Every structure is written in C-alpha cells, then in structure tokens.
Structure 1
Amino acid sequence: MSSINSISVGKLVRLIGTPKCPALVDVRTDEDFALSPFLLPGSVRRPFGDVNGWAAALRGRSAVVICQKDLKLSHGVAALLRDGGIPAEVLEGGYLGWESAGLPRVPTGKLPPQNTQGRTLWVTRERPKIDRIACPWLIRRFIDPAALFMFVAPSEVSAVGEKFDAAPFDIEGVFWSHRGELCTFDVMIEEFGLATPPLLRLATIVRAADTARLDLAPEAPGLLAASLGLSRMYADDLEQLEAGLNLYDAFYRWCRDASAETHNWPTAKTKA
C-alpha cells in the first residue's frame, strides 16, 4: 500500500549493503514468520507490541518497518516510531512483496543465537588480514548490523566460542570456514542466500587475495596490498576492522556500480 511514508522495494534494495541503509525492522507476527522463516538482508525481528521497549536502540537512525503485507502492523509501528522522533517508513508490499520479487532472504536457521541485547556474537583469530575482515563486513552489512566480533589467540577461538556462545569463523573444523577452494566469505554468501552478482564478484576478489591465487581477479593484488597495509597501520584489531569496513564498502560499490568505468587523465590529444 503506497503512502507518503513508504519506500519501494527497488529503492530499498539499493540501500541494503551500504552504510546509509536505514534500520530494517521486521514486525511480522509469529504465525506469519513461521510460514517463511527468512529475513530481508540486514533486518532484525522485533515484537510489534513492544515498540517502546526497543525503539530507543534506533535513536539517530531512520527505519523501515516490514510486516507481512504492508498493512496495519508496519503502518502502526512506523507511526509510533515517528511519534518518538525516529524517521520511519514502511516497505511497500511488505515481506511478501520482497519475496515475490525474488530478492535475497536470509534463512534465520543459519544465524547464531543473539545475546541479551539482541546482537549476534562472532569469534575468530586475532590479527585479521582478508577473510577475517571481509566476513565481518558481510555480516554487518547484510546479516546483523549490530554484530559483535572478538579477535582472540588462534588456540583459544573454539573455547571462547563455547564459553561466550559466540560463532567461531575462519578457523579449521568449524561450520563457518573454508570449504575446498572456497574461502569463508564464499561460504557465508552461499549459506546466507546472498549470491547476488555484485557479492559473487567481490567474493572472487576476496578468494583470490585470501588464497594466493591472484590470477583469479585483476583487482585481487590491490585488495591484498590494502589489507596488508591496514594490518600494519593498526595494532588494535577492532580499529582495523572499522577501517576495513570502509575498504569493503568501496570494493562492493565498485562491484555493483562502477566495474565498467575507466579513468584516463590526461587524455591523449592529437597534435594539430
């Protein structure tokens, strides 16, 4: 149902995966969710009957509210958010409109458990280079914008994961890790249902840089150089991650919007 406070599927799909994406709030009923236990990339489920309980976490951001059919639940929740000073729109067509468009949906059965603040927790080896920055970028932009990451000694990753109920990734012997020639970034894209052309192109670049097969993509040496440079610039892994998010934002936008563009200055001029 189109309204002045709605956003189209086409416009939202361009925002998802970028730093400017609004908070995406899924307020479907438990019954509707059980019929299709998937989420729009980057969205989180929140109960429509407890807006006051979770709205404060959206302060400083705009929001898009998603219900099953773009009817009473999303419109009511969006109105309450706006009343609380949070700019909020509803998704035209709701979840079913997104689903019918054949766009990516994240299977919630693959998500790790959330902590008491509703955030997923992940753990991997310290001193990240490529895969261990690329995967957190993918998670923050397409899975859980509020995800937390722990970088610990390699020998302690599994134990920390068990003790703190965190999902280990990019180590041997766990679900979220390399499989054959695929790196962990590839695996996450596949398992989370995010195999769009831009992300698949980025995955090839990441795999090439991460597995020393630079011939797979001409952009891979650049990603490798930038990644190793960042690892030398930052002693703190979380500071490096924040800087790395910007790097992958740029690579993603190139894969999505700018791969056909060239740059040549000054241009060759024919002599008179």
Structure 2
Amino acid sequence: MPSLLEISPDKLARLIGTPKCPVLIDVRTDEDFDADPRLIPGSLRRDYRLVQDWGSDFAGRSAVIVCLRGKKLSHGVAAWLRHMGIPADVLEGGFEAWSEAAYPAVPVSAMPKHQASGHTLWVTRARPKIDRIACPWLIRRFVDPNAVFLFVAPAEVEAVADRFDATPFDIDAPIQWSHRGDRCTFDVMVQAFGLETEPMLRLATIVRGADTSRLDLASEAAGLLAVSLGLSRMYADDHEQLQAGMLLYDAFYRWCRDATDETHNWPSPKKGV
C-alpha cells in the first residue's frame, strides 16, 4: 500500500489521459533511462539535480515524480517541490512497477524532437474536422502536454514544417504521421506511441469510422462525425475549435474506458409494474 506521499500505478493509470492528471515528471538517471527509453504517457523528463531551477515551472499544478524504483531520487525531488509550494507525490515502485504492471509506455524513439523551449511542434491543414482534432488530443493527453499545433493552408504544410522545424501530420503525402492503408492518422499514432489499450483501440475505431466515412465500423462514429462537423461550423478559429474538441475527446475516451456497458432509459420504469 502506498504511503501518504505516494500514488499507486493503478491510481495513476486512472488519471492519465484525463484533464485532471497531474504533471508527470520523470527524473530517472540517464543510465536508467537509456536501459528502457520509454516514458509513462504524458511524462516530461527533468534532471533531478536541477530541481531548484525548473521546479517553479510547475507552480500552481500538482505533480507525480517518477524514478526507477520510487526511492531516493523521486522522494527527494518531490520533497523539494513541496518545499516550493507545489503538491507532489511519488509513483510507488517507480517506472519498474509501472512497466511490470504492463501499463502503456511511450517509446521516446517515436517522439519528434523537442524545440529549444521544450515542446514538440506540429503542423497540419487548417479547418480541422476529425483526425486533426483527435491527433492533437492524443498528443497533449498522452505524449506531450505542452505540444504546439500550427494550422496552415494545405499547400503550405510541408514548407512550413521545413522552415519552422515542425512535424507535419495528416496530409496527403508520404510522411510518417498520416493515413496508412485503411487506417487513419489517429490509428498510426496510437500504435507508434505504444498506446494500444482496449479503451484507446475502441476510440480509434470510432475515429476511423468517422474520418473515413465508414460509419458501419462503430455505431458511435456517426455521432462523432456529426459533432465534429458541428464544431467546425461553430468556430472560425482553429485553436478555439481544438480547445472545444479536447473536451469532446475527453468525453469519448471516458465512455470508451468506463461507460460502454451503461444504458440510459427514460422515463424510469415504475416500481411494481
């Protein structure tokens, strides 16, 4: 059982991918990280020796600290953060416990390089509908919470990517992050980032059905298509639409994870009838 200053892998797994997830900070040594270069979804890498320098970056947020086994490095960093007024817990058992429980982990080799300011930079076509909202949701919730997205004219995506050192996605070109066969870009990212859990695969099927006009793949695909098209009519600003879409995919993900067996009937049957 975790102490009052720890959080169990099971409890953390329930928080990851939700808007209320604390910031996850991986402080494994370079040697330990190189032995298994994967990250708990949404984690940021930081040098434990420099916590006094970067700790203030997380003011106003709560944090979970991850080292190899949940011992001295994570407890020391968490204590420093609490000293700085930042609520911080330690992942019980560290990355080893997370891995042994077979929870998903993102291979760093699949992630685009970070900009000098510390975030990944992505570029895609303007006026997003489905894939171009679903993919940013996936990235911000499970890969890089600080990711920046640029929406530009379709003909300029590759040139902008080149000039601004951004990663292009979901365009009709032979790039890493786009459709492959009958799979949409969201499918490709789910697989490449090691996120193939049952709820995520269920969501991927819904996204694929809506994005490729195969509404027979999942009964929910028609609803996602309708809401996505409605959002695109409501918002002229792509970033405002993305913010609204984040809530949409949060809801779909929670349904896929927790509520697929739940039904709703109205009016409720009368007792004794």
Q: TM-score range by the shorter chain?
A: over 0.9
CA contact (8 A) 1:70 1:91 kept: yes
**How many angstroms apart in 1 are the aligned matches of 2:179 and 2:39?**
25
Query: How many equivalent residue pairs?
Result: 272
**How many angstroms apart in 2 are the aligned matches of 1:229 and 1:217?**
19
Aligned positions of 1:29-68 closer than 5 A: 29-68=29-68
Aligned positions of 1:164-175 closer than 5 A: 164-172=164-172, 173-175=174-176
Does 2:134 align with 1:134? yes
1:7 aligned partner, one-letter code: I
Q: CA deviation at 1:53?
A: 2.0
**How many angstroms apart in 2 are the aligned matches of 1:268 and 1:15?**
35
Aligned positions of 1:203-218 closer than 5 A: 203-218=204-219
**How many angstroms apart in 1 are the aligned matches of 2:223 and 2:138?**
19
Deviations 1:98-153 (A, max 9, x none): 01111101000111111122111111000000000000000000001111000001
Aligned positions of 1:136-215 closer than 5 A: 136-172=136-172, 173-215=174-216
The aligned counterpart of 2:3 is 3
**How many angstroms apart in 2 are the aligned matches of 1:222 and 1:56?**
42
Greater mean alpha carbon deviation, residues 177-186 or residues 47-56: 47-56
**How many angstroms apart in 2 are the aligned matches of 1:56 and 1:229?**
40
1:212 aligned partner, one-letter code: S
**How many angstroms apart in 1 are the aligned matches of 2:200 and 2:231?**
22
The aligned counterpart of 1:229 is 230
The aligned counterpart of 1:111 is 111
Identity, % of aligned positions: 66
Q: CA deviation at 1:268?
A: 4.6
The aligned counterpart of 1:242 is 243
Does 2:67 align with 1:94? no
**How many angstroms apart in 1 are the aligned matches of 2:198 and 2:225?**
21
Greater mean alpha carbon deviation, residues 157-166 or residues 134-143: 157-166
**How many angstroms apart in 1 are the aligned matches of 2:9 and 2:151?**
36
**How many angstroms apart in 2 are the aligned matches of 1:175 and 1:53?**
36
Q: CA deviation at 1:2?
A: 3.6
**How many angstroms apart in 2 are the aligned matches of 1:165 and 1:142?**
22
TM-score where L is the length of structure 2: 0.97
Q: RMSD between aligned alpha carbons?
A: 1.3
Q: Secondary structure at the match of 2:171?
A: coil
2:186 aligned partner, one-letter code: F
**How many angstroms apart in 2 are the aligned matches of 1:270 and 1:136?**
47
**How many angstroms apart in 2 are the aligned matches of 1:181 and 1:29?**
41
Q: Secondary structure at the match of 2:202?
A: helix
The aligned counterpart of 2:259 is 258
Deviations 1:22-64 (A, max 9, x none): 0000000000011000000010100001112222221111000
5+ residue gaps, structure 1: none
**How many angstroms apart in 2 are the aligned matches of 1:22 and 1:116?**
23
Q: Secondary structure at the match of 1:122?
A: strand
CA contact (8 A) 1:25 1:65 kept: yes
5+ residue gaps, structure 2: none
CA contact (8 A) 1:113 1:165 kept: no
The list of structure 1 runs, each at least 4 consecutive aligned residues, that deviate by more than 6 angstroms after superposition, is none
Greater mean alpha carbon deviation, residues 46-55 or residues 65-74: 46-55
